[in-house]
Amino acid sequence: MCFGTWEKIKELVPGQEYSFTITQQDPGFGETGPPQPHTIRGRVFNSDGATGVENGIPVTINNTVSGDFVLTYTYAPPIPSLKGSYSANVNGSDSDTIIVTAWNSTAYGKNTTILAATTTYANVVLNTTRPSETNVTIITPANDSVKNTSYPFNVTANISIIGDRDGFSCNATISFSDNSVLNISSSESFTHILGDLFV
| pLDDT per residue as tens, the chain (199 positions) | 455 667 777 788 888 887 777 777 777 666 566 889 999 999 999 999 999 999 999 999 999 999 999 999 999 999 999 999 999 999 999 999 999 999 998 899 999 999 999 999 999 999 998 888 888 899 999 988 998 888 889 999 999 887 667 888 899 999 988 888 888 988 999 999 999 988 7
- CATH classification code of 36-129: 2.60.40.1120
Is the pTM of the predicted complex or chain greater than 0.75?
no
Is 131 strand, coil or helix?
coil
Contact (CB, 8 A) for 106 and 99: no
- Report residue 25 CA to chain centroid gap: 39
Distance CA 104, CA 162 (A): 10
What order of strands is seen across the sheet that includes strand 107-114?
A: 69-73, 58-63, 97-103, 107-114, 128-129
DSSP code per residue over 155-188:
-EEEEEEESSS-EEEEEEE---S-TTTS---TT-
- Say what the pLDDT of residue 1 is: 47
Q: Taking the CB of residue 129, how many other CB atoms lie within 10 A of it? A: 12
Q: Which of 62, 55, 71 is nearest to 104 (CA)?
A: 55
Domain range list for the chain: 36-129, 133-197
Q: What are phi and psi of 96, to 5 degrees?
A: -60, 150
Q: Is 115 helix (H, G, I), strand (E, B) or coil?
A: coil
pLDDT at residue 150, rounded to an integer: 85
